[in-house]
Amino acid sequence: MKAVIQRVSYASVTVDNKTISSIENGLLVLLGIAENDTKEDIEWLSKKILNLRIFNDENEIMNKSLIEVDGDLIIVSQFTLIASTKKGNRPSYIKAAKPEIATPIYEQFILHTEKALGKKVGTGIFGADMKIKLLNDGPVTIIIDTKNKS
């Protein structure tokens, strides 16, 4: 599982010209699901994202987590994060989980994260053509791959 985590002042997801999720202070997470991702990946990555100390404290030092600032969260599936670009110029998505595997993992990730955060999170629509707007705050952008935990 790979995640691109962006600290945002604003983010929204639009499908067919209809805004389906929007937040102000919080995180926008683009989530790529690989064919070999497991429940352990869900639990580890969710905990890591919610506890990343990337929000400013009273001294303007990144020392607080999303939980501590009571921030909001949008999680959007993005299979292209699993792309391999080793050969040629056309990315290969062969290691990305197929929808019948990725959809339940995405839904489990959302539920697990909501439970840990204690509130609903915004989402995209799995497999839809989405338009994402964001105002990256900082900018702060972190990339995490559950296959590189150490």
Which secondary structure element, helix H or strand E, spans residue 137, and what is its range?
Answer: strand 130-145
Residue of 14, 19, 38, 80 with catalytic role: 80
Total-model pTM: 0.95
Tell me which residue has tokens 């303007």.
Answer: 60
Q: Where are the domains of the chain?
A: 2-145
Question: 145, 36 in Cβ contact below 8 A?
Answer: no
Q: Which residues of the chain have pLDDT under 50?
A: none
- State the pLDDT at residue 57: 97
Three-point CA angle 119, 143, 145, nearest 5°: 90
Q: Where are the beta strands (DSSP E) in 16-61?
A: 18-23, 26-32, 55-56
CA–CA gap between residue 115 and residue 69 (Å, rounded): 17
- State the pLDDT at residue 140: 97
- State the pLDDT at residue 67: 97
- State the pLDDT at residue 149: 81
Tell me which residue has tokens 């790979």.
Answer: 2
CA–CA gap between residue 96 and residue 71 (Å, rounded): 30
Going by C-alpha positions, the residue among 71, 54, 60 that lies closest to residue 117 is 71
Q: Phi and psi dihedrals of 98, rounded to 5?
A: -70, 155
CB atoms near residue 150 (< 10 Å): 2
141 is an active site residue: no
- State the pLDDT at residue 150: 66
What CATH fold (topology level) applies to the domain 2-145?
Answer: D-tyrosyl-trna(Tyr) Deacylase; Chain: A; (3.50.80)
